[in-house]
Amino acid sequence: MRTAAETRKRSSKIPDYRVVVGLGSCGIAAGGHKVMAALKDEIKKSKLNVALAETGCVGMCYREVLLDVYDKAGNLFTYGNMTPERLPRLVEEHLAGHQPVKDWLVRAHNQALPDDSFYAKQKRIVLRNCGVFNPESIQDYMDHQGYQALVKALKTMTPEQVIKEVLDSGLRGRGGAGFPTGRKWQFARDSRNDKKYVICNGDEGDPGAFMDRSVLEGDPHNVMEGMLIAAYAIGADEGYLYVRAEYPLAVQRLKLAITEAKKKGLLGKNIMGTGFNFEMKIKEGAGAFVCGEETALMASIEGKRGMPKLRPPFPAVSGLWGKPTNINNVETYANVSWIILNGGAAFAALGTEKSKGSKVFALAGQIVRGGLVEVPMGITVWEIIYEVGGGIKGGRQFKAVQMGGPSGGCIPAALADTVIDYDSVTQTGAIMGSGGMVVMDDTTCMVDIARFFLDFTQKESCGKCTFCRVGTKRMLEILDRITKGQGVEGDIELLLELADKIKVSSLCGLGQTAPNPVLTTIKYFRDEYEAHIKQKKCPAHSCKELLTYEIIAEKCVGCTACARVCPSSCIAGAVKKPHVIDQAKCVKCGSCVVKCKFDAIRVS
Amino acid sequence: MKKAKPAPKAVRGAADPAVKKVVARHAGNKGALITVLQEVQAELGYLSGQTIEQISRAMDLPASQVYGVATFYTQFRLKPVGKHLMRVCHGTACHVSGAGKISQALEDELKVGDGETTEDGKFTLETVACLGCCSLAPVMMIDSETYGRLTPDSARKAAKDF
Ligand SMILES: Cc1cc2nc3c(=O)[nH]c(=O)nc-3n(C[C@H](O)[C@H](O)[C@H](O)COP(=O)(O)O)c2cc1C
Ligand code: FES
Report which ligand 1 atom has the smallest distance to the Cα of A295.
17
For the sheet with A409-412, list strands across it: A371-376, A358-365, A436-441, A398-403, A409-412
> CA B140 → CA A245, B81, B129, B158, distances in Å?
16, 17, 11, 10
For residues A161 and A453, what is the distance between their CA atoms, to the nearest angstrom?
43
The pLDDT value given to residue B7: 47
pLDDT (tens digit per residue) in A284-337: 999 999 999 999 999 999 999 999 999 999 999 999 999 999 999 999 999 999
> Looking at the predicted structure, is the pLDDT value of residue A1 above 50?
no
> Looking at the predicted structure, is the pLDDT value of residue B2 above 70?
no
pLDDT (tens digit per residue) in A56-79: 888 999 999 999 999 999 999 999
Establish if A213 touches chain B: CB-CB under 8 angstroms: yes
Q: How much is the average pLDDT of B132-140? A: 93
> Looking at the predicted structure, is the pLDDT value of residue A87 above 90?
yes
Contact B75 A286 (CB under 8 A): yes
The pLDDT value given to residue B12: 55
The pLDDT value given to residue A88: 95
> Looking at the predicted structure, is the pLDDT value of residue A376 above 60?
yes
Element (H, E) at A50: strand A50-55
pLDDT band of residue B5 (cuts 50, 70, 90) is low
Contact A207 B38 (CB under 8 A): no
pLDDT (tens digit per residue) in A549-563: 999 999 999 999 999
Contact B137 A364 (CB under 8 A): yes
> CA B84 → CA A364, A427, B121, distances in Å?
28, 46, 8
Report which ligand 1 atom has the smallest distance to the Cα of A330.
11
The pLDDT value given to residue A11: 47
ipTM of the complex: 0.90
Distance from CA of A367 to the nearest CA of B (A): 9
- Substitution target in A118, A204, A206, A210 with the highest count of B β-carbons within 10 Å is A210
Half-sphere exposure of A503 (CA within 13 A, CB side): 13
Choose among A601, A599, A483, A481: nearest CA to A540: A483
Half-sphere exposure of A539 (CA within 13 A, CB side): 14
DSSP string, A544-576: GGG--EEE-TTT-----HHHHH-TT--EE--TT
The pLDDT value given to residue B30: 87
| Buried-state track B53-91, b at ≥16 Cβ within 10 A, e below 16 | bbbbbbbeeebeebbebbebbbbbbeeebbebbbbbbbb
For residues B24 and A58, what is the distance between their CA atoms, to the nearest angstrom?
42
Q: How much is the average pLDDT of A460-479? A: 97
3-state secondary structure of A600: coil
> pLDDT over 70 for what percent of chain A?
98
For residues B149 and B162, what is the distance between their CA atoms, to the nearest angstrom?
17
Contact B104 A589 (CB under 8 A): yes
Q: Which of A50-59, A382-391, B1-10 has the weakest average pLDDT?
A: B1-10
Establish if A157 touches chain B: CB-CB under 8 angstroms: no
- Substitution target in B69, B104, B134 with the highest count of A β-carbons within 10 Å is B134
Cβ(A335) to ligand 1 under 6 A?
no
> Looking at the predicted structure, is the pLDDT value of residue A12 above 80?
no
* Distance of CA B133 from the midpoint of ligand 2 (Å): 5
pLDDT band of residue B20 (cuts 50, 70, 90) is very high
> Looking at the predicted structure, is the pLDDT value of residue B8 above 50?
no
- Cis geometry, peptide bond prior to residue A313 (ω within 30 degrees of 0): yes
Domains belonging to chain A, first-starting first, are: 13-114 (3.40.30.10), 138-348 (3.40.50.11540), 358-441 (3.10.20.600), 446-535 (1.20.1440.230), 548-603 (3.30.70.20)
Interface of B with A (CB under 8 A): 30-35, 37-38, 68-69, 72-76, 90-97, 101, 104, 108, 128-137, 139, 144, 146-149
pLDDT (tens digit per residue) in A357-367: 999 999 999 99
> CA A288 → CA A86, A300, A306, A460, distances in Å?
42, 10, 8, 7
The pLDDT value given to residue A219: 97
Q: What is the pTM of this model?
A: 0.93
Distance from CA of A441 to the nearest CA of B (A): 9
- Average model confidence (pLDDT) for chain A? 95
> Looking at the predicted structure, is the pLDDT value of residue B13 above 70?
no
Contact B131, A400 (CB under 8 A): no
- The better pLDDT of the pair A22, B8 is held by A22
A301: Cα separation from own chain's centroid: 23
Q: How much is the average pLDDT of A82-107? A: 96
The pLDDT value given to residue A4: 52
* Residue numbers of A between 489 and 548 with CB closer than 8 Å to B: none
Contact A62, A78 (CB under 8 A): no
Domains belonging to chain B, first-starting first, are: 9-72 (no CATH), 84-161 (3.40.30.10)
Establish if A579 touches chain B: CB-CB under 8 angstroms: no
Closest ligand to residue A29's CA: 2
> Looking at the predicted structure, is the pLDDT value of residue A139 above 70?
yes
> Looking at the predicted structure, is the pLDDT value of residue A196 above 50?
yes
Contact B30 A206 (CB under 8 A): no
pLDDT (tens digit per residue) in A231-274: 999 999 999 999 998 898 999 999 999 999 999 999 999 999 99
For residues A271 and A292, what is the distance between their CA atoms, to the nearest angstrom?
30
pLDDT band of residue A138 (cuts 50, 70, 90) is very high
- Substitution target in B71, B72, B104, B109 with the highest count of A β-carbons within 10 Å is B72
A188 CB-near residues (< 8 Å, 6+ apart) = A196, A234, A236, A315, A316, A324, A325, A326
Contact B122, B82 (CB under 8 A): yes
Contact A2, A140 (CB under 8 A): no
